[in-house]
Amino acid sequence: MPKDSGIGASPKRREDIRFLTGLGQYTDDISLTGETHAVFARSQVATGIIKSIDTSAAENMPGVLAVFTGDDFVDVGGNPAGWLINSRDGEPMKEPKRPVLAHGKVRHVGDAYAAVIAETAEQARDAAEAIEADIDEQPAVVDMKSALAGGALVHDEIGTNQCFDWGWIEDNRAATDAAIKSAPHVTTLELVNNRLVPNAMEPRASTGVFDPGTGDYTLYTTSQNPHLTRLLICAFVLGIPENKLRVVAPDVGGGFGSKIYHYGEEALVLSAAKKLGRPVRWTASRSESFLTDAHGRDHVTKIEIACEKDGTFLAFRTETMANVGAYLSNFSTATPTFLHGTLMAGNYTVPTLYVNVKAVFTNTAPVDAYRGAGRPEATYSLERAIDKCAQELGMDPLALRRKNFIKPDQFPYAAAAGLEYDTGNYHALVDKLEELADLSGFEARRAATKATGKLRGIGVNTYIEACGIAPSNLVGVLGSRVGLYDAATVRVNATGNISVMVGAHSHGQGHETAFPQVVADMLGIDEGSIDIVHGDTSKIPFGMGTYGSRSLAVCGSAVVRATEKIINKAKKIAAHMMEASEQDVEFSEGQFSIAGTDKSVGFGDVALKAYIPHNFPIEDIEPGLEETAFYDPANFTYPAGAYACEVEVDPDTGKVTIDRFTAVDDFGNVINPMIVTGQVHGGLAQGIGQALLENCTYDENGQILSASFMDYAMPRASDLPLYTVDHSCQTPCTHNPLGVKGCGEAGAIGSPPAVVNAVINALHSGGHTDVTHIDMPVSPARVWAAMNS
Amino acid sequence: MYDFSFVKPGTVADAVTALASEDAQALGGGQTLIPTMKQRLASPAKLVSLTGIADMQGVSQSGGVLSIGGATTHAAVSAQAGGFAGLAALAGGIGDPAVRNRGTIGGSLANNDPAACYPSAALATGATIVTNTREIAADDFFQGLFETALDEGEIITAVHMPIPEASNYQKFEQPASRFALVGVFVAKYASGVRVAVTGASEGGVFRWSEAEAALGANFSPDAVSGLSVAPGDMIEDLHGSKAYRAHLVKVMTSRAVAAAG
Amino acid sequence: MTKLSMTVNGKPVSGNVEGRTLLVDFLRQDLHLTGTHVGCDTSQCGACTVHVNGVAVKSCTMLAAEADGADVATIEGQANADGSLNVIQQAFQDHHGLQCGFCTPGMVMATADLLKNNPTPNEADVRHHLDGNICRCTGYHNIVKAVLAASGQDVDAVAAE
């Protein structure tokens, strides 16, 4: 019987009530007395020199209160990159300043060079159009290869468009080169990991408030990590003391990475609020989101797999160009390096590998972590290439993978890409996949499809990811400028109900429901009496936020540690109440008792006693029952999975239809299976979207071509199948107290290669054996072109 | 949007009067015009809503001709054009349900978006576009991308479509917008077959005369297999090359014939 | 400015708006009914879906003035009279048909529109009907299940997860 509460149960989500009744409070839903509206003037050219900006007409427009340009922010700091990456030769990466508003030069379409504050948003928009900017358009740098070849520069002051040229692991380079040179078989594949626009359904929004009486600022903003945003604004950009800025991320309508980062609009509304003494709000239109949200992926990669004739892997080597866009976003240098190169060994016992990544500035929107962040790129390169390798060797693709899997008894396993996987069982995942996806029934289904004139194909792959980001000691060595622990405070109120203040931020992940399940299990009390508080720097101790499938593994572990502290203190109080020794107190199912006696007090009585400390040994026990814990993980966690996709291809139109998709994942222990399944569903839709539909493209002049939902194909209900999802193969994480690994990104990481492998398989079955690869998105036009080339 | 004044007359005559003022523009369901205005790509001084004119609403059938009021929504056509199943199906596949509840046939034809569905039906049926001043044959009405024979201030009050013996519309959707990447309407009459293609051509909706001749002789899906569409005039964009669109015209035509039966 | 009045969730309301005021802005800004959301500017995402005179429309693509005299229903008026979730809302919660919640009001309103016209849709009907409502979180699987469940159909037959 499934449990109906606590760890492993699937209670209905409590946050759903407000979302289903229209009572959610997203940033743009908050209106404040005296509020004003900001609108940005944005570059319409990919790059150009700002010769002059005349704001006089705009300033005299109805309702206009202030106009800002880059000149107003020359004395404040830039928005920094969070990771310092060194090139292979030891040179630190190039870090050009990213200003609040463009100054001197605009560098991508949408780059803001001025902002208008007015009484209404439409007045501000009218005035923004009246700003006369003389911008001398310059040749745009768009294609990465040309960007590296010389010519026009995105940032003149750094003298190059290359941010860094990174090698991983440099010491393995010679051995890898040698292995590839002498290998009996080498598979080579060149591929593009297409640029994506995250498109959380809630566009970014920020409202700045300044209280002249106290000097305190408040920022309401669409953030996955309000403390990180506060740190960036205070320590790097505006120099506001951290204790004078409160950042509130209320209900947030999805993030997928794009709302991790600090953006200039946040600094602008705060500065403007101070200048005007009135709240200043801004909400992006979807068109602005396309131009200015951090995009994802955008890698061009060549991968080589060296192996024996029997398929035993000998070495992997990749060369990648990674687009970082016009400016370095906060995680942009970590994403193509330590979230990508370190995963290149996959689930395999390959003895050596070498990854080279050149990060390239272009006149496009910044590119940063998007659901999966580097790991989808690694998985796609490797798992596509392995499929090609299997075809070249005449091997079954799953058999080739099985042959090279790390075996269950080899864990912990030091993989060739430098990470130590603590646990896993990849053979079990594939066994489960074969069963659930009914792989043995595929040929019959293929025959049935053939009778309809279509081509059926199957694609399989596995993946490994590193989640639970991240052990601060390790990431510090790797260049991170922050720690990646998390924090929680458990506050037991006098009447026994509990507030848990967490550093993770829930914007769809269901923390408000799942985290209480953990605390309720530990304390033996009703989870309905436990509330989660998140998203407000004035209420929570600290937190690095939600991304990298880290919330439960890192912040959840902090919740466990804080709850353990609560139990320890409550035991002292209980011992005092029962006039017993603390060592004799046992705690179970919400009751403190003394072994061998009938003495017992309930958790609620202890909580009350903590706040009414009459006759309290105050020299031994402080009043109150509230504990905080910071948790820093000992290692990454390593979710893994095996996926299968079956497609039907219409040979007349090239249209690919997904008939069935099976995802088998090992997330370790699972707290709320319903929520975990939902996370996988969402990840699958984004991965399938990348594989079949989504593509952000710029023309040679740097104009974005897919600038709205009219041209950027978002997955819709009719594009997707029902999924079969399983997470019963569990090898619990060995180093965090819950044994959990993280589930948020898996679907987006594991699914793209399965889809493309399936399409290639289908085409081969139709006789198109010369088609060895089609770049994503595998659109009807591309499939048809491949079949008719 | 830039601001504008708004009026919602109850009669065609009042609408015509309102449209006579400078920079006035007719507003049908607004499903194209309002997004365009939000991007500040249009700036009418006055919008004249046609949705309040009862005479421009509804579908009726008489003497083998289906008459549709210019302000009839796609949803209404889908529900009420049962006597012309090919058209009802086309209307039921435009955009999405909420768009179909607002968008109108008159608005769609007047806008003449090269990827819109309705122009293909109007052209394939040899429809008559009725305005407040005249009747225009569909063959004369469509004049290239977003261009029609309508004069300034002229309103489409109704569309008359001769009901074919057999018909079908096949749309291959552009994956993002769900507009037609290629859409083909095939209409079979005693007098012959008409085939109109939307979404594909840089010149907007067009009749594929070779296919009409072939299908006139042999109304079967295979009849077009030996034909080809010159790719030169086709649209090329993110979603498909000229050659791909030319190919799809043939595929969709064949499928429309098969579905028309 | 145009004076207008309408019924919203059964209550008469009135206001003074510019010609360019969209119905969604009137609802959100003038009436403070912020449950109706804006997710795009090309009339595609459906987060702004409301009912006008009984049919679903995108309130970001309709002028407020066009709704003068109309009967408008929004997400705020969907719960049962006692405040409990209605059948559709309850099905979305039961089947985890929402995550971040931003598209959810539009999904609920679109579902109500579907079930009114097609009380027992099949899976394909549901997917087709929701073509104008984009969700970035759920992958639609659980939304489809929720809609089928709201129609009173057994969803155990739908893929187990």
CATH classification of the domain holding A222: 3.90.1170.50
Q: How many domains does chain C have?
A: 2
Token output for A326:
């016009």
Q: Which helix (H) or strand (E) holds B67?
A: strand B65-69
My answer on whether A400 and A453 are in the same domain is yes
- Angstrom distance (rounded) from CA C58 to CA C36: 10
Determine the pLDDT at residue B261: 79
Q: What is the DSSP letter of C59?
A: G
C133–B49: do the CB atoms touch at under 8 Å? no
Interface of A with B in 675-694 (CB under 8 A): 693
Closest chain C CA to residue A250: C100
Contact A681, A524 (CB under 8 A): no
Give a yes or no: residue A196 inside a domain: no
B177–A712: do the CB atoms touch at under 8 Å? no
Rounded to two decimals, the pTM is: 0.97
My answer on whether C40 and C73 are in the same domain is yes
Per the DSSP assignment, residues forming a β-bridge with A323 are A360
| Residue range(s) defining the domain that contains residue A670 | 387-468+636-787
A-C contacts at Cβ under 8 angstroms: 192
Domain CATH code at residue C29: 3.10.20.30
To test the contact with chain C by mutation, choose from A4, A13, A19, A708 the residue with the greatest count of C C-beta atoms within 10 A, namely: A19
My answer on whether C28 and C69 are in the same domain is yes
A682–C133: do the CB atoms touch at under 8 Å? no
My answer on whether C58 and C114 are in the same domain is no
My answer on whether A550 and A568 are in the same domain is yes
To test the contact with chain A by mutation, choose from C122, C138, C161 the residue with the greatest count of A C-beta atoms within 10 A, namely: C161
Interface of C with B (CB under 8 A): 2, 18-20, 22, 41-44, 46, 49, 55-58, 61-63, 65-66, 68, 110, 113-114, 129, 131-133
Contact A696, A367 (CB under 8 A): no
Contact A288, A264 (CB under 8 A): no
Percentage of chain C lying above the pLDDT 70 cut: 97
C72-94 pLDDT per residue, tens: 999 999 999 999 999 999 999 99
Give a yes or no: residue A357 inside a domain: no
Tokens 């947030």 appear where? A252
C110–B99: do the CB atoms touch at under 8 Å? no
Give a yes or no: residue C82 inside a domain: no
With CA atoms as reference, report the closest residue to A470 among A640, A639, A341, A632.
Answer: A632
With CA atoms as reference, report the closest residue to B30 among A76, A221, A646, C58.
Answer: C58
Residue that is last in its domain, among C77, C96, C117:
C77
Angle, vertex CA B208, rays to CA B204 and CA B211, nearest 5: 160
Residue that is last in its domain, among A600, A616, A631:
A631
Contact A117, A59 (CB under 8 A): no
Domain CATH code at residue A770: 3.30.365.10
My answer on whether C91 and C125 are in the same domain is yes
My answer on whether A42 and A115 are in the same domain is yes
- Angstrom distance (rounded) from CA A238 to CA A269: 12
Give a yes or no: residue C159 inside a domain: no
Interface of C with A in 52-71 (CB under 8 A): none
With CA atoms as reference, report the closest residue to A370 among A776, A748, A755, A751.
Answer: A748
Chain C residues touching A508 at Cβ < 8 A? 99-101, 137
Q: What is the DSSP letter of A73?
A: G
Q: Which of B1, B177, B247 sits opposite A710 (nearest CB)?
A: B177
Question: How near does any CA of chain B get to the CA of A601, in Å?
Answer: 60
Looking at residue A535, its amino acid is: G
Determine the pLDDT at residue C129: 97
Residue that is last in its domain, among A631, A656, A682:
A631
Determine the pLDDT at residue A4: 80
My answer on whether A750 and A679 are in the same domain is yes
Contact B64, B160 (CB under 8 A): no
Q: Give every residue of chain A whose pLDDT is below 50, as ranges.
A: 1
Residue that is last in its domain, among A608, A631, A654:
A631
The CA R_g of chain B, rounded to the nearest whole Å, is 18
My answer on whether A110 and A127 are in the same domain is yes
ipTM: 0.98
Give a yes or no: residue A10 inside a domain: no
My answer on whether A270 and A132 are in the same domain is yes
Please determine, for residue C157, whether its predicted confidence score (pLDDT) is greater than 70. no
Token output for A485:
């622990």
Give a yes or no: residue C161 inside a domain: no
Contact A778, A676 (CB under 8 A): no
Q: Which whole-number Å values give the CA distances from A86 to A79, A161, A324, in the listed order? A: 19, 15, 15
My answer on whether A647 and A725 are in the same domain is yes
Q: Which of A21, A252, A253 sits opposite C76 (nearest CB)?
A: A21
Please determine, for residue B101, whether its predicted confidence score (pLDDT) is greater than 60. yes
- Angstrom distance (rounded) from CA B102 to CA B95: 11
> What's the rounded mean pLDDT across residues B59-67?
97
Q: Which whole-number Å values give the CA distances from B98 to A692, A711, C40, C90, in the listed order? A: 26, 20, 15, 23
My answer on whether C7 and C73 are in the same domain is yes
Chain C residues touching B177 at Cβ < 8 A? 44
Q: What is the DSSP letter of A271?
A: H
Coil/strand/helix, residue B194: strand
My answer on whether C65 and C129 are in the same domain is no
Tokens 């409202």 appear where? A207
Give a yes or no: residue C41 inside a domain: yes
**HEC secondary structure over A505-556:** CCCCCCHHHHHHHHHHHHHCCCHHHEEEECCECCCCCCCCCCCCCCHHHHHH
Residue A456 neighbours by CB under 8 Å, 6+ apart:
A442, A445, A446, A449, A450, A646, A647, A648, A649, A659, A762, A765
Question: How near does any CA of chain A get to the CA of C47, in Å?
Answer: 8
My answer on whether C11 and C72 are in the same domain is yes
Annotate A566-594 with b (16+ C-beta within 10 A) or e (fewer): bbebbbbbbbbbbebeeeebebeeeebbb
Give a yes or no: residue C91 inside a domain: yes
Per the DSSP assignment, residues forming a β-bridge with B182 are B172
Give a yes or no: residue A340 inside a domain: no
Determine the pLDDT at residue A618: 86
My answer on whether C9 and C60 are in the same domain is yes
Q: How many domains does chain A have?
A: 3
Contact A274, A213 (CB under 8 A): no
Q: Is A434 exposed, middle or buried (0-12, 13-18, 19+ CB in 10 A)?
A: middle
My answer on whether C36 and C73 are in the same domain is yes
Give a yes or no: residue C96 inside a domain: yes
To test the contact with chain C by mutation, choose from A35, A722, A725, A755 the residue with the greatest count of C C-beta atoms within 10 A, namely: A722
Domain CATH code at residue C91: 1.10.150.120
Closest chain A CA to residue B245: A781
Determine the pLDDT at residue A3: 76
Determine the pLDDT at residue A173: 97
> What's the rounded mean pLDDT across residues B140-160?
96
Q: What is the DSSP letter of A190?
A: E
Token output for A465:
């990811």
- Angstrom distance (rounded) from CA C20 to CA C29: 14
Per the DSSP assignment, residues forming a β-bridge with B169 are B185
Residue A91 neighbours by CB under 8 Å, 6+ apart:
A164
Please determine, for residue C159, whether its predicted confidence score (pLDDT) is greater than 70. no
Give a yes or no: residue C72 inside a domain: yes
My answer on whether A265 and A126 are in the same domain is yes
Give a yes or no: residue C156 inside a domain: no
| Residue range(s) defining the domain that contains residue C133 | 87-150
My answer on whether C142 and C94 are in the same domain is yes
Q: Which helix (H) or strand (E) holds A752?
A: helix A746-765
My answer on whether C113 and C137 are in the same domain is yes
- Angstrom distance (rounded) from CA C24 to CA C41: 12
Annotate B140-151 with b (16+ C-beta within 10 A) or e (fewer): ebbeeeeebbbe
My answer on whether C56 and C103 are in the same domain is no
Determine the pLDDT at residue A601: 97
